[in-house]
Amino acid sequence: MSSCCTMLFHQHSSEECFINVNVGGFKQRMEHTVLKRFPQTRLGRLLCCSSTEAILELCDDFSPSEMEYYFDRSPRFFCYVLNFYLTGKIHLVDGLCVVSFCQEIEYWGIKERHLDFCCSNRFYVLKELAEDKCWDQRSDDLQPNSSASSIEEFSASEDNLHMFEGTWCADVRRNVWLHLENPGYSTAAKVTAVISMSVVIVSIVAMCVHSMPDFHQVDASEKEIENPVLSFVENLCVFFFSAEFILRLAVAPSARKFLCSPLNIIDLMSVIPFYVTTACDMMDEGESTDLENVGKVVLILRLMRVFRILKLARHSAGLRSLGATLQHSSREVGMLVLFLSVGISMFSALIYFVEKESPESELQNIPIGWWWATISMTTVGYGDTFPVTFAGKLIGTLCIICGLLIVALPITNIFNKFSKFYQSLAGIALTDVPEHCPDATQNYSNTVNHCL
């Protein structure tokens, strides 16, 4: 083992200038002056210890009679540590995992900045690959166990299918459940999914058309009324959504889990406003004096029909991936909001102080500057407020450039997570299960458990 350590320390005549180190059976005398060059390392900190207790916090054992320090670490890696004390640079160890390398240098108190230039690029590449693999592993471990918090719908997983055993009409309910939840189960399941998505699209189109003035109608008293054609389409779509929701709830293996699923909550929120507004309209027609704000309540509930757009997430791997990405990217999104908040606060104050003396400028207070800085840093630029002075234009240019950089910083990590979630969900969407196949349930369950 000593052959790999070709660089030894010069010995002084005084024994007080050396310490004896035993690393995994490999012994070495080390000079005080060399260790003092790196006082933040583990061996450098040993020189400052004034008690046996302090020494044992830094090493595994200590022999006062021989003044020898014992470390239960890899003697092979310690040769690179010796070279670090001589040259001030650490090198990657061939055949050693980059994660283990990071753990070793952290133990000895060596920083990543001490890596020599010949090894630094390879180290960061290997470290990034290791972090990606660790992230994939954590995602695989967390997603299947987070049914309540995950953006994924309550689907036909193996555990859920086992819940049908011993219940009423188990075989019929299981078959209907698979047709409704898994489009790849059979041709009929695909047709059902296409019909459901088509009704969602028709409902969204009807909602958009209803907002156009050309389709508004009034009665004899000049009071605006619902367009009968659009009203019929609206009622038909709502009845379809209601029947689908009730059928899926009736055949679900667990009603509690079904109602706790995010996508099923969206389905429920998309139909509730229709029934509530209908009830409010009937009470309003009865001239109830107890509902003074019924008009505002109906308006708000009608606006909630926008939840139907989110129903597309049930049939779109991209939308579900977006939801999962936002859920698992809270740190990156928080950083983005923090960076933008700091930038908006700074540039709104700067633009106010350089524009307040100009009567042509609309940026006469800091709150208006917040709006200007927000649309500038996000590169929207409505043009409703803008600087007119030369100094204000310079600040505006700097604000736009900083906004581009700030927004771009966390986007890479968010995009990488989105790609991984989309690939996982796309793998499920491409899994087709033959109709009446004896192993259909098991194959689909294995796919769900593996990908999610």
Packing angle of the helix pair 228-251, 170-181 (nearest 10 deg): 130
Determine the Cα–Cα distance for residues 397 and 376; give it in Å rounded to an integer.
Answer: 9
397 and 300 in one domain?
Answer: no
pLDDT at residue 16 in the model: 60
Whole-angstrom CA distances from 372 to 5, 60, 225, 367 are 64, 61, 41, 9
Q: Provide the percentage of residues in the chain whose pLDDT is more than 90.
A: 6
SS3 152: coil
Distance of alpha carbon 137 from the chain centroid: 15
72 is a domain residue: yes
Determine the Cα–Cα distance for residues 309 and 323; give it in Å rounded to an integer.
Answer: 14
SS3 410: helix
Number of structural domains the chain divides into = 3
442 is a domain residue: no
Of 293, 315, 337, the position where a domain reaches its end is: 315
310 and 162 in one domain?
Answer: yes
The two tokens of residue 325 are 């990405």
> 332-369 pLDDT, tens per residue?
888 888 888 999 999 999 998 998 888 888 888 888 88
Question: Cβ atoms within 10 A of the Cβ of 355, count?
Answer: 25
* Higher-confidence position of 327 and 71: 71
pLDDT at residue 147 in the model: 35
304 and 335 in one domain?
Answer: no
Question: Cβ atoms within 10 A of the Cβ of 293, count?
Answer: 9
22 and 102 in one domain?
Answer: yes
310 and 168 in one domain?
Answer: yes
* Higher-confidence position of 449 and 280: 280
CB 117 within 8 A of CB 91: no
> 47-57 pLDDT, tens per residue?
888 888 888 88
pLDDT at residue 398 in the model: 93
Given a cut of 50, whether residue 152 has pLDDT beyond it is no
* Higher-confidence position of 67 and 311: 67
Of the listed ranges 136-145, 193-202, 369-378, 417-426, the least confidently predicted one is 136-145
305 and 233 in one domain?
Answer: yes
Determine the Cα–Cα distance for residues 450 and 427; give it in Å rounded to an integer.
Answer: 10
> 2-12 pLDDT, tens per residue?
444 433 333 33
Residue 284: which pLDDT band, with cuts at 50, 70 and 90?
A: low
pLDDT at residue 381 in the model: 81
258 and 171 in one domain?
Answer: yes
CATH number, residue 25: 3.30.710.10
pLDDT at residue 300 in the model: 63
Residue 154: which pLDDT band, with cuts at 50, 70 and 90?
A: very low
SS3 54: helix
149 is a domain residue: no
The two tokens of residue 369 are 């500057």
Q: Provide the percentage of residues in the chain whose pLDDT is more than 70.
A: 72
pLDDT at residue 400 in the model: 92
Of 81, 109, 140, the position where a domain reaches its end is: 140
pLDDT at residue 299 in the model: 59
pLDDT at residue 401 in the model: 92
Q: Average pLDDT in the 20-36 region?
A: 87
* Higher-confidence position of 393 and 293: 393
Average pLDDT, the chain: 75
306 and 336 in one domain?
Answer: no
CB 295 within 8 A of CB 280: no
Of the listed ranges 78-82, 107-111, 427-431, the least confidently predicted one is 427-431
pLDDT at residue 296 in the model: 58
Residue 317: which pLDDT band, with cuts at 50, 70 and 90?
A: low
CATH number, residue 231: 1.20.120.350
445 is a domain residue: no
Q: Which residues lie below 8 Å from residue 218, measured CB to CB, with a gap of 6+?
A: 224, 225
Residues 271, 274, 280: CA angle, nearest 5 degrees = 140
Residue 399: which pLDDT band, with cuts at 50, 70 and 90?
A: very high
199 and 55 in one domain?
Answer: no
Determine the Cα–Cα distance for residues 130 and 136; give it in Å rounded to an integer.
Answer: 10
Q: Which residues pair with 26 in a beta bridge?
A: 23
> 400-432 pLDDT, tens per residue?
999 988 888 777 777 777 777 777 665 544 444
Residue 298: which pLDDT band, with cuts at 50, 70 and 90?
A: low
Q: Average pLDDT in the 423-442 region?
A: 47
Of 84, 109, 140, the position where a domain reaches its end is: 140
Residue 255: which pLDDT band, with cuts at 50, 70 and 90?
A: confident
Range of the domain at 383: 328-429
Given a cut of 70, whether residue 190 has pLDDT beyond it is yes
33 and 106 in one domain?
Answer: yes
Determine the Cα–Cα distance for residues 283 and 276; give it in Å rounded to an integer.
Answer: 11
pLDDT at residue 333 in the model: 81
pLDDT at residue 297 in the model: 60
CATH number, residue 339: 1.10.287.70
Given a cut of 50, whether residue 114 has pLDDT beyond it is yes
226 is a domain residue: yes
